[in-house]
Structure 1
């Protein structure tokens, strides 16, 4: 085969068929991954009916809760389980395992895996694979919960539908070698359903019955169905509302937004424009003094020796990104014109769920490789001890 053959895309007569295939793939134009609005997702009816039943049972549990059908100890227990399982998602599945924004001791990893199991959002391995895929192909057809499909789809509809072919195909290319090398993660993946039955269903329901004198029915409806559906909807709002209603002070080219309301419900996961701009930051936000309980807990875990190597973006890096790509709504580095283009249904306050910018949402058309997990290369240790260069696969 000559240089001319390669330059023209022609292959020499009698070449190896395997080489022919490689050359064909090499010269195939890169795909553009966007949102094909003519594509119709096929509904998986058993999932749709299942979620309907779960929500009806959760509403029954909510009614029992607010009408005084359970005692104060049971109510506090339900919120305790809700809180710790939510942190199993935010600190464990999201900030530790998906983004490796800090390092955890084996003891902490085991605790977070248990708490993530209680949350009932699939195994740690599958949760992280889907989330890494979400970041690499955010708001395209390769994103499992593509917000371009609307609020309902990105919130819960994606769990009621067959996966888009891009989600299946490109999901297989996501690098999961770090989780595959973690025996605890793979143990949980293998035995997820019995572990879920024990930690998410049996223990939360059994404790009030055994120790607080609750009836099995009320404990099941409040401590399982109501607790689980309230918690999981908080997580889903990060996929839906935090991609649709808010501002983009860090990167106006990214669909995700900053949402006070979602941050309050999800213990700090709603500062989503920042998070997609700097996904490796353990805070998942620029600031952590308001509506970011998860960041406070991670720093506490560092103090007691269970977490270390916390990664964050330097003040200078954040400021440069705001000036270069922000939409002008940043609280300190924004401008009055951009801030005047914010609207809401009702009170114009950031805590209003409908608080959003009038700017049109950016498009999302990515090449076949998608976005990197690390949007910036410089990662500075939270204690300012050293600076690292990171070239991490998603």
Structure 2
């Protein structure tokens, strides 16, 4: 791979990727070296499949570790993760009960919104971008803060959450993805939490998390932290602050938790269904503003899956990503550092690839002129003789190509007489400005009328090679 070093030096990035060249002498090419084209595979289809399985972790695991039996009406109650299912299914009903039985206090409403963002950022800025993806570095103080608020979102410890999320990125859309979008919107949103997994998620390296004292502190104390941050503390703040214990519990505690849960769940479900794929379309992650709104900025998911170690989820100033702004604020006050960004050069490659794909898709719907190699080559004299025949054709030579304008002659904006006056002649000068300098659409339409190439007429390199002609051609200027 070749990198344009001078260009890349202009880019500001915490993720340098230009390798230092090795000081090696050029390889010596020997005479009888077999090429890739000469090397042919002698393996049978069965052998190739065995070789693939042997060298592919996902295929090997799926073959050797079959999933649990499917969930049916007769065994469903055995396959439910009852602690998680109880929490996730009861909390909306408790929140509804609170809404209908608890008086409204504006202070509690404001605090509920604040508490939603604080515990939500514990997931997005903490669990997700810091611990799962290591997209930036944080001081120990900030790590403890994010872990504490993250526990208030009641989504498991950061170690458990990050392990599953790393598996999700490594095995996206496969059966080793713990919340694969291919299993349906319900499953990827909440079903994977309610039901026992059909198989173990794929392996993911969490060595760094195992050796992180802040992560281990939260993991050991997660239950008490989650209960305190999610229910006890918001109840006490509202109660001691403005005597609204019930509002603190039902609104800042339970109702807020419902929204935090489903906000995060939308990253696994909605972000894999709604939107477009500006960087890659091989997998399900998508970018969409609505998803970003309901997930604290995690909705530009196609970008995130392509560049997971980037601390940003949105690139444009108008794209909603409050988590990115919060991380930048942490850096400003000295709590965060080494904010990682993928080189813009590589990001633009992703955009280019997808635009190119769309153009190719459009191109397959368009009828194109015959390739030059498919056209016969005739002399100018042969062209003149053919043009005299009364066979309904109207042969005209333009820029070395002979065109049949017979079906177009009545539609020509310049009139029939102009076309007929150039039959059997060279109309290159007239077409290229002598009479009218035609637009791109005219050039495209004319190319569809090509029926032959005039030998030595407006020569181009590939024609000279085919004919063995080495004389300098007379150029035709547009």
TM-score (norm 2): 0.59
C-alpha change, 1:118 and 1:164, in structure 2 (3 Å) is same
Q: Work out whether 1:77 is the aligned partner of 2:114.
A: no
| Contact preservation (8 Å) 1:64, 1:222 | no
Q: Which residue of 2 aligns with 1:133?
A: 167
Equivalents in 2 of 1:281, 1:27: separation in Å? 32
Q: Work out whether 1:192 is the aligned partner of 2:228.
A: no
Q: Which residue of 1 aligns with 2:368?
A: none
| Structure 1 counterpart of 2:298, from 252, 269, 276 | 269
Offset at 1:62?
Answer: 4.7
| Structure 2 counterpart of 1:220, from 222, 225, 249 | 249
Q: Which residue of 2 aligns with 1:120?
A: 154
Superposed CA offset, 1:313-338 (max 9, x none): 22221111121246868xxxx89969
Q: Work out whether 1:318 is the aligned partner of 2:347.
A: yes
| Structure 1 counterpart of 2:197, from 163, 166, 190 | 163
C-alpha change, 1:275 and 1:34, in structure 2 (3 Å) is farther
Offset at 1:121?
Answer: 0.8
C-alpha change, 1:185 and 1:220, in structure 2 (3 Å) is same
Offset at 1:71?
Answer: 0.8
Offset at 1:308?
Answer: 0.8
| Contact preservation (8 Å) 2:136, 2:340 | yes
Equivalents in 2 of 1:29, 1:290: separation in Å? 41
Offset at 1:161?
Answer: 0.8
DSSP 3-state at the match of 1:165: coil
C-alpha change, 1:287 and 1:159, in structure 2 (3 Å) is same
TM-score (norm 1): 0.71
Q: Work out whether 1:44 is the aligned partner of 2:67.
A: no
Equivalents in 1 of 2:246, 2:313: separation in Å? 39
Which ranges in structure 2 are unaligned for 5 or more consecutive residues? 1-49, 364-478
Offset at 1:217?
Answer: 3.2
Q: Work out whether 1:101 is the aligned partner of 2:135.
A: yes
Equivalents in 2 of 1:63, 1:272: separation in Å? 37
Equivalents in 1 of 2:81, 2:159: separation in Å? 25
Equivalents in 1 of 2:298, 2:267: separation in Å? 7
What is the count of residue pairs matched by the alignment? 303
| Contact preservation (8 Å) 2:123, 2:150 | yes
CA RMSD of aligned residues (A): 2.9
| Structure 1 counterpart of 2:122, from 72, 88, 93 | 88
Offset at 1:100?
Answer: 0.6
Equivalents in 1 of 2:304, 2:69: separation in Å? 29
| Contact preservation (8 Å) 2:127, 2:162 | yes
| Structure 2 counterpart of 1:56, from 68, 84, 93 | 93
Q: Which residue of 1 aligns with 2:270?
A: 241
Equivalents in 2 of 1:26, 1:242: separation in Å? 31
| Structure 2 counterpart of 1:260, from 289, 292, 299 | 289
Equivalents in 2 of 1:54, 1:265: separation in Å? 19
Q: Which residue of 1 aligns with 2:325?
A: 296
Task: Report which structure shows greater RCO (CA 8 Å, sep ≥6).
Answer: 1
